[in-house]
Amino acid sequence: MNKRTTSFHWLIIFLVLFPAFLKAQQANVNLDYNPQKNTEGLNPFSAPVNSPEVRDDRTVTFRLKAPNAQKVVLPTGAIYTANGLGSEPLPFTKGNDGIWTLTIGPLKPDMYAYHFNVDGVQITDPSNTYAAFTAMPPYSELIVHGDGPAYYDAKNVPHGNVTRHVYHSDVTNGERELYVYTPPGYDPKKEYPVLYLLGGSGELPSNWVYDGRVNFIMDNLLAEGKAKPMIIAIPNNQVIHRNNPKHTELTFDIFEKELRNQVIPLVDQSYKTIKSPHRRAISGLSMGGRHSMFIGFRSLDLFANFGILSAGDTNAETSLVQFLNDPKVNEKVDYLFIGQGTEEANGFMGQRCVALHEALEKHKIEHEYYVGGYGGHDWATWRHLLYYRFLPNLWKAN
């Protein structure tokens, strides 16, 4: 074999194998839809074992190197709720090498938050590079892929931008953050409607980007022609310690001041926005849904569009008396959406949604009520509600 033939031979081998060099389990090279599929037999960088490993049949193996541990379990949570895994933690099995393993599935394609419990101590998966950070102790992210990118994945479509703003708040007397999504092709000479999107208890604004994938959801909806271009502002609605005994009494007034005095002025000054309640929306999940309801419903000078996700109030007749009895409310509100996940509908959170829905029906206030997806009170539900209902229907009325 001459040099030319040898060179050609190695070129063919390189071209055949090159795609494998581009992808590795949790290599974080591309924004792959299947980042935890083991394509090269490699452990994540600096990790002792490969965990979690997600296969094409949607079975998942968790691993933990803990030779001195006595008991390791996978606590119940979103994985269990969506996949009917029961109500008891699943135990790992310890190998002679000190590595504990647990294989479950097949699971529904989605993104799931999870922890390990080692001898009674809750920890993240130390070998998983996908870890979330919130105003709560962090957790790990399991990404179970389907046959291709999901509606919340990065696809080969035009992408918008997410900008982090750090600003001083006179309301909370400190430096705070705000994330703003601008759609693909954002034109500073054109005016856009604005959605103010809020997190739940313990969520930071970045969670709507990394867990909620709202930017990719919006990119994909726009590419599919299913939604209208908009700016999405994601403020931090944690304005008082969540465990403060007076949290409920204080949070709504404080956050309303933050919205009026700091957040909305910053967004209106930084971007080309339509400064009208009919072009503003407020939406949030869980605690953020209650912020959207209790602040939004009394701020019809600011908002005419609402998305109440996995939230409500069993005392709505008392707490929302002014809104419910406003004879012109249907003229002031363009779109009011209430949604929750199928698996949370029968619990306490679901009862709050139902009570709000029934109060609105009783007072003949126009709204959309939706129960869907297979999730509980978790991100699977909130991503589903955004993509399949709320964002496509927002701004349709005007």
Q: Are 144 and 61 in contact (CB under 8 A)?
A: no
Superfamily of domain 21-144: Immunoglobulins (2.60.40.10)
> How many CA atoms within 13 Å lie on the side-chain side of 238?
20
pLDDT at 248 (0 to 100): 87
Question: Strand pairing of 116-118 and 72-74?
Answer: antiparallel
Architecture of domain 161-393: 3-Layer(aba) Sandwich (3.40)
Stretches where the chain sits below pLDDT 50 are 3-8, 10-22, 24
Domain spans of the chain? 21-144, 161-393
Q: Whose CA is closest to 132, among 119, 146, 144, 142? A: 142
* Tokens read off for 375: 């999730």
Q: Are 394 and 281 in contact (CB under 8 A)?
A: yes
**What would the pLDDT profile of 150-185 be if each residue is shown by its tens digit?**
999 999 999 999 999 999 999 999 999 999 999 999
pLDDT at 20 (0 to 100): 41
Dist CA 379 CA 244 (whole Å): 25
Helix locations, 231-286, DSSP H: 247-258, 264-270
Residues 6+ apart with CB under 8 A from 224: none
pLDDT at 84 (0 to 100): 93
pLDDT at 27 (0 to 100): 81
Backbone angles phi, psi at 168, to 5 degrees: -95, 135
The residue assigned the tokens 């389907």 is 146
**What would the pLDDT profile of 87-137 be if each residue is shown by its tens digit?**
999 999 999 999 999 999 999 999 999 999 999 999 999 999 998 878 888
Q: Residue 52 in 3-state DSSP? A: coil
pLDDT at 71 (0 to 100): 98
Q: Which residues of 196-222 are buried (b: 16+ CB within 10 A; e: fewer)?
A: bbbbbbebbbbbbbbbbbbbbbbbbbb
Q: Whose CA is closest to 337, among 297, 307, 293, 382? A: 307
Q: Residue 82 in 3-state DSSP? A: helix
The residue assigned the tokens 């930071």 is 204
Q: Whose CA is closest to 83, among 25, 144, 149, 37? A: 144
Burial class of residue 68 in the structure, from the number of CB atoms within 10 Å of its CB (0-12 exposed, 13-18 middle, 19+ buried) = exposed
Dist CA 300 CA 280 (whole Å): 10
Fold match between 21-144 and 161-393? no
Question: Strand pairing of 110-114 and 174-182?
Answer: unpaired
Question: Strand pairing of 72-74 and 90-91?
Answer: antiparallel
